[in-house]
Amino acid sequence: MMRRLTRAVLLVLLICCARQAAAQGECGLTNGASMAFGTYTGGEAALAGTNTWKVVCAGSWNIPLNAGTGAGATETTRYMTGPGGAEIAYEVFQNSGRTTNWGNTTGTEMTGTGNQNGDYYGLITAGQYPAPGTYTDTLSTATTNFPVSVTVVKACAISATDLAFGTYTKTLIDSTSTISVTCTNTTTYNVGLNAGTATGATVTTRKMTGPGGYLLSYSLCQNSSCTTNWGNTVGTDTEAGTGTGALQSLTVYGQLPAGQNVEAGTYTDTITATITY
């Protein structure tokens, strides 16, 4: 009886020690730093993000990364979710060249041996047009979570082509210019045109200046019949719109009235277009 009891006690001790060794050999990420992409205005070039990870392990390891919480997300196309359920697509890679995806299927996991520190790399793809707001996602491994975030800010850009009336022979001339506006999706804006640079010019009677200080009056309008003036008072005579994230074109209609007696030569003016949003 004494021998049997001794063997039983020794067996329990061996099982205990084997379990302790297995627990000490477990591997995983001890921390997963959040990836904050910063700000994104939509439609712009791809936006990159980088952050770090740390693995504690006595042997070799592989760590899968899930698809995240975004609706329809996969291990190759993940989504951050923002206002009203809007989403921004992004990708996560193991290498700085952003060619090796970090996923959760065989062959896509992060692998290594022993204790290691490293980086993971994110990419918001170009050509997306999200509404302003904060977008977030949470990626998970077996041992930690990775918060992912980006803030979409209101932004607008504006440019314009020249308006050329050509040759004036005292008859009415119509001409046009194109203003190009790119604003963040859902961002409301107003485009105004100032009075120009000529002495005495106003937003209703603009003037080009020529030789000897001669002035040639002209108008800038929002419609082709030139019955709606285009000025620079928001809510009164500016052109209003709502951004889509993509380029939007606005037409400026110029009209040079007939019957003006001026000296021959080249007449010019400079109009400043301002976008308010």
pLDDT digits 0-9 by tens, 100-110:
999 999 999 99
Question: Which residues lie below 8 Å from residue 224, measured CB to CB, with a gap of 6+?
Answer: 174, 253
Question: Which residues lie below 8 Å from residue 78, measured CB to CB, with a gap of 6+?
Answer: 67, 68, 70, 89, 90, 91, 92, 137, 139, 148
Q: Element (H or E) spanning 4, and its range?
A: helix 2-24
Question: Which residues lie below 8 Å from residue 257, measured CB to CB, with a gap of 6+?
Answer: 172, 217, 218, 219
The pLDDT, as a whole number, for residue 29 is 78
Question: Which residues lie below 8 Å from residue 143, measured CB to CB, with a gap of 6+?
Answer: 28, 29, 30
Tell me which of 2.60.40.1090, 1.10.150.120, 2.30.30.50, 3.30.2130.30 is the CATH number of domain 156-276.
2.60.40.1090
Name residue, tokens 């080249």.
Answer: 266
The pLDDT, as a whole number, for residue 36 is 85
pLDDT digits 0-9 by tens, 142-180:
888 889 999 999 999 999 999 999 999 999 999 999 999
| DSSP conformational letter for 229 | B
CA 235 from centroid of its chain's CA atoms? 28
The pLDDT, as a whole number, for residue 80 is 97
Listed range (42-51, 106-115, 136-145) with the worst mean pLDDT: 42-51
Separation of alpha carbons 232 and 247, rounded Å: 21
Separation of alpha carbons 12 and 15, rounded Å: 5
Name the CATH topology of 28-152.
Immunoglobulin-like (2.60.40)
The pLDDT, as a whole number, for residue 32 is 59
Is the distance from CB of 105 to CB of 64 less than 8 angstroms?
yes
Strands 215-221 and 28-32: what pairing?
A: unpaired
Domain span(s) for CATH 2.60.40.1090 in the chain: 156-276
Strands 145-152 and 35-40: what pairing?
A: parallel
Quickly state the pLDDT bin for 21 (edges 50, 70, 90): very low
Quickly state the pLDDT bin for 2 (edges 50, 70, 90): very low
Separation of alpha carbons 178 and 99, rounded Å: 40
Separation of alpha carbons 107 and 98, rounded Å: 16
Q: What is the pTM of this model?
A: 0.76
Domain span(s) for CATH 2.60.40.2040 in the chain: 28-152
The pLDDT, as a whole number, for residue 50 is 85
pLDDT digits 0-9 by tens, 199-256:
999 999 999 999 999 999 999 999 999 999 999 999 999 999 999 999 999 999 999 9
Separation of alpha carbons 121 and 123, rounded Å: 7
Strands 47-56 and 78-81: what pairing?
A: unpaired
pLDDT digits 0-9 by tens, 194-213:
999 999 999 999 999 999 99
